[in-house]
Structure 1
Amino acid sequence: MFQSRRPLGILELDEGLPAESSLRVPRPGGLLNPATFDRPIVTEIVEGAWPDMVIRGDPSLEGACVAAARRMVERGAAVISSDCGFFIRHQAAVAAAVNVPVVMSSLLLVPTLLRQLAHPHKLAVVTADSRHFGEELLSLDNPRDRARVVIGGVEGGEFLHNALMRPPIQTKVDQIESEVSACVAQLRAEHPEIGMLLMECTGFPYVTNALRRHTGLPAYDITDLCRLTLAAVCLD
């Protein structure tokens, strides 16, 4: 039954890793692990999409994103996502180019999550690098909504340093949890109104459950959005 289901398609960063690299083996609970969704996964590397270029927002990558998404649809993908939340900059172009649902980033959830929260509660978005997190990534036109979103990043830590290496170095889950927990703790100290968490980075689903336990807050990540979208399409 598992193998008969239409796959989830994921646009991958171009990290210069050989096919046999141990870093290409998906870890439990991650976006690239088929067991996370109980269905196959197909991937296509976006040529030239090095992590630093995607985080900074290089517009020249749009054509490569569209081409990779189309290849995955040809391979049977039922839904298209990506393995970096900053790919949201190419959400509109990819969605216009294929005939399946496209969810490039957990940031698509921001408007919906705000409406789950009563005033004056705030939504905390935790990102890999807040230095390149522009207002346009939130897709919020209402200033009152924008005032209810706070942004925190783990830039300066081991996780981002390792991710930006060419090729990247895998960071231990305990280290990711430590860095993300510290970021959330700082945000909550500055904004005690925080009532919900959203993980932008696709490397954070490994620690989302730990954050839920430690904080007692609802926490969302890209795997939640993918599950929701996959549940809305045909399982065949």
Structure 2
Amino acid sequence: MKRGNLQTEADLAATFQVSPTAFAGYAIGIIAVDLIYPKVPGNVANATTFDFPVLYEVVDFEIEQLFEGSEQIKEQIISAAKKLEKQGVRAIVGACGYFGHFQEAVAEAVAIPVFLSSIIQVPIIKIGLKKEQKILTLVASGKDINEAFFCSSGADLSDCTICEIGALESFSSIRWGKTTLDNQKLSADLVEIVQKQLAESPEIGAILLECSDLPPYSYAIQQAAGLPVFDFNSLIHWVYYSVVQTRYYGHF
């Protein structure tokens, strides 16, 4: 049976209450900025990325405001989180690493778990590495990366080697909202930049992709680097399996 289906006679005999919302079954709520550009499978903003239903709530502001962590957009993000909570999701994530600016504010505003940024994974990645090893972290906007931003996600900037990919021409379709994307070129460019970083920094022991648009390229990056690659989807799947547990069946 699929996860979440009724599986036993006891389930069938159970008493259920009416759902307080128009829909049910969305465990993960995703806050996403209203941006128009090609969103290929693997992108957090493409629902076919996931083998479980997700519920999106759109916020409308300039992406640069999110990169900067502008206070002007905080209430809109909190409002989106509260709406997702009211619709019955069990946990909330963001669809951009820079939502991490608002991690604490949103977590305090709702009664369900909040994991807004892929940067949240830094401490758990680091604990699996040698003390001298670093996490190569690909980010969309290098100028907006600082210690305070990392701290907002419970992470330490010193654990990472930052590499900006926002200036890549092949990334410009995503960065500036163009209607066409050379997927093969972007994949090749990301692999090239990672290989260069690894050649220059042998202390790198793992790779983290900050941007929610980069998971489609995690496979190619891992094949080239031979290292663990963490991204938004590794975070979202981890969160999902914590809030939607399942029974196990078999022999022993």
Amino acid at match of 2:95: D
Q: 2:223 aligned with 1:223, yes or no?
A: no
TM-score normalised over the length of structure 1:
0.84
Match of 1:136 in 2: 148
Percent identity over paired residues: 26
Equivalent residue, structure 2, for 1:169: 179
Aligned to 1:40: 53
CA RMSD of aligned residues (A): 2.3
Label 1:68 to 1:159 Cα distance change in 2 as closer, same or farther (>3 A).
farther
Query: Which AA in structure 2 matches 1:173?
Result: N
Q: 2: CA distance between counterparts of 1:52 and 1:64?
A: 15
* Counterpart residue number, 1:211: 221
Structure 1 residues 40 and 183: CA distance shift in structure 2, 3 A: same
Deviations 1:24-79 (A, max 9, x none): 7x53222233443322121111132x222212322211100000111111122222
Size of the aligned set, in residue pairs, is 223
Flag the 1:89–1:147 CA change in 2: closer, same or farther, 3 A.
closer
Change over 3 Å in CA distance of 1:170–1:107 after alignment to 2 = farther
In the alignment, the residues of structure 2 paired with residue 154 and residue 5 of structure 1 have an alpha-carbon distance, to the nearest angstrom, of: 36
Q: How does 1:61-72 map to 2 (within 5 A)?
A: 61-72=73-84
Task: Mark the CA change 1:146 to 1:12 in structure 2 (over 3 Å): closer, same or farther.
Answer: closer
Within 5 Å, give how 1:1-236 maps onto structure 2.
5-15=25-35, 17=36, 23=37, 27-48=40-61, 50-139=62-151, 146-165=157-176, 167-234=177-244
1:235 CA displacement: 5.7
Residue 148 to residue 98, structure 1, CA distance change in 2 (3 Å): closer
Name the aligned partner's letter for residue 95 of structure 1.
A
The match for 2:15 is none
d(CA) in 1 for partners of 2:88, 2:51: 16
For 2:180 and 2:33, how far apart are their aligned partners in 1?
14
Q: Separation in 2 of the partners of 1:164 and 1:217?
A: 26
